[in-house]
Amino acid sequence: MRKDFYYEERRRQLNCMQNYKHELFGNSKCLQNNNKKFDYILNPQDSIKNLYHKIQEDAIKYFNQYDITWWQSSKDTTNVPTGHLVSSQIHCLNHLFALRTDKEAVKLIIEKATGMQFDEVLPSLIDNDEHSYISFEFALDNDKLLKENDKGWKRGKLCTSIDIMIMARKGENKWLIPIEWKYTETYSETDLTNKKRIERYAHLIETSKRLQVPDDGIAHSIYFIEPYYELMRQTLLCEQLIGAGYAEDFFHINIIPSEHTELRKAVATGFIPMLNDETKFKIIDPKDFLVPIKENNLYPELIDYLEKRYW
C-alpha cells in the first residue's frame, strides 16, 4: 500500500500544531534526537498532551489499572501514551474514551453503526467496573480460547487485542460489538504464515461459522496477510467467546477514514468476501461513527476538538 494518506495526515497534524497548538496541545514541544527534529512526534514528557485534554488523567489511570500496554513508535522510550501525532491508538482514544461510562451515548453510536435496536448496553466483560461500557485493548482468555500463550501476553501485547469491545443486549441475546480501529496504517503483502500460527488458528478457521476456508488451503492464504490476519483473529476470538457462553452473536466493525481509500478497498474486496455472513461486518468512517453524538448535541467540546484535529 502507498503511504499517501499517512503523509497527508501528518501534514494535517502539523497544521493543527501551527493553528491550534495551545488549544489542542498546550505548551508541548516536538521531539529532537541527534539534532534532528521530528515535528510529528511530541516529546515523551509532553506525550500525554497527544490525548484530548478531558481524558488525559482518566486514560492513564485506565491503562495502569488494567495493565494495558501503550502502543510505542521507534522513538518512544517509556510505556506512556505515544507522542506520535498520527497514532491509531491515540486517534481511537480521542474519539471514544470520553464516552466510556455514558451508557446512552454508547447505545446511540452502536445502534447507528449496526442498524440494530438494542434494549441496553451492558458493562464490560473485563474491566470490573459496572459503569464501563467500552473496553479498550480487549483480550479475554486468549491463552485458552486461541492458544495465545506467549510469555508476558496481556491486553495490548503478544495476543489478539481488539481495539474496542462493546456488549449489548437485544431481547434475551447478548451481542459482542468488536471494533477494529484504523487510522493511517498501511501494509505490505507479507506472508505471516508459520508453524505456531497454523497450530493456533488453522483448526479454528476450519470449524468457523463466520469464515470461509480458502480454496487453496489455510496456510499462506489471505488470513495470514495484514490487515486480514488481524481481522481473522478477532473473528475467531469472538466465536470462541460465544462458544464459551459470553454472548450469542457479534457484529464486527472496522473503523477506517473515508479518505484512506486503499485500506478500505483492501478490506472490502479481500476480507469481506471471505465471510459467510457479510451483513454482520461494516466499514465505517470515524466521523460517521460519532454522527449520533453530534446530531444529539452531546459532548460539543469533544466534537469541536475532533473537528479541528481530525475531521
C-alpha torsion sign, points 4, 75, 55, 58 = positive
Cis peptide before 227 (omega within 30 of 0): yes
- The DSSP-derived string for 168-232 is EEETTEEEEEEEEE-SS----------HHHHHHHHHHHHT-SSBPPPTT-STTSGGGSTTHHHHH
CA distances from 277 to 73, 162, 211, 280 (A): 36, 20, 9, 6
The answer to whether residue 153 scores a pLDDT higher than 90 is: yes
Strand partners, 281: 252
The answer to whether residue 78 scores a pLDDT higher than 80 is: no
Contact status, residue 131 vs residue 99, Cβ threshold 8 Å: no
Look-up: residue for cell 461494516?
282
Over residues 56-69, mean pLDDT: 97
CA distances from 83 to 58, 96, 274 (A): 17, 18, 36
The mean predicted confidence, pLDDT, of the chain is: 96
**pLDDT for res 127:** 97
Percentage of the chain exceeding pLDDT 90: 95
**pLDDT for res 36:** 83
Residue pLDDT, tens place only, 82-100: 999 999 999 999 999 999 9
Q: For 286, list phi and psi in degrees, rounded to 5.
A: -60, -35
**pLDDT for res 32:** 84
The answer to whether residue 74 scores a pLDDT higher than 70 is: no
- The DSSP-derived string for 92-130 is HHHHHGGGTT-HHHHHHHHHHHHS---SEEEPPSSS--T
Question: CB neighbours (10 Å) of residue 224?
Answer: 19
Among residues 32, 46, 40, 41, the alpha carbon closest in space to that of 12 is found at 40
Contact status, residue 134 vs residue 166, Cβ threshold 8 Å: yes
Q: Which domain holds residue 169?
A: 4-309
Over residues 139-151, mean pLDDT: 97
Contact status, residue 256 vs residue 182, Cβ threshold 8 Å: yes
* Nine-digit cell string for 48: 500525554
The answer to whether residue 79 scores a pLDDT higher than 90 is: no
Strand partners, 178: 165
Judged by average pLDDT, the poorest of 52-66, 68-82, 213-227, 249-263 is: 68-82
**pLDDT for res 77:** 61
Count CA within 13 A, CB hemisphere, residue 254: 24
Distance in angstroms (rounded) separating the CA atoms of residues 235 and 201? 11
**pLDDT for res 37:** 85
* Nine-digit cell string for 63: 491503562
CA dihedral 233, 238, 240, 243 (to 10 degrees): -160
**pLDDT for res 33:** 80
Over residues 217-241, mean pLDDT: 98
**pLDDT for res 202:** 98
User: How many domains in the chain?
Assistant: 1
What type of residue is 262?
Answer: E
The answer to whether residue 162 scores a pLDDT higher than 90 is: yes
The answer to whether residue 76 scores a pLDDT higher than 70 is: no
Residue pLDDT, tens place only, 164-221: 999 999 999 999 999 999 999 999 999 999 999 999 999 999 999 999 999 999 999 9
**pLDDT for res 75:** 64
Beta strand pairing call for 173-181 and 249-250? parallel
Over residues 120-125, mean pLDDT: 98
Residue pLDDT, tens place only, 246-303: 999 999 999 999 999 999 999 999 999 999 999 999 999 999 999 999 999 999 999 9
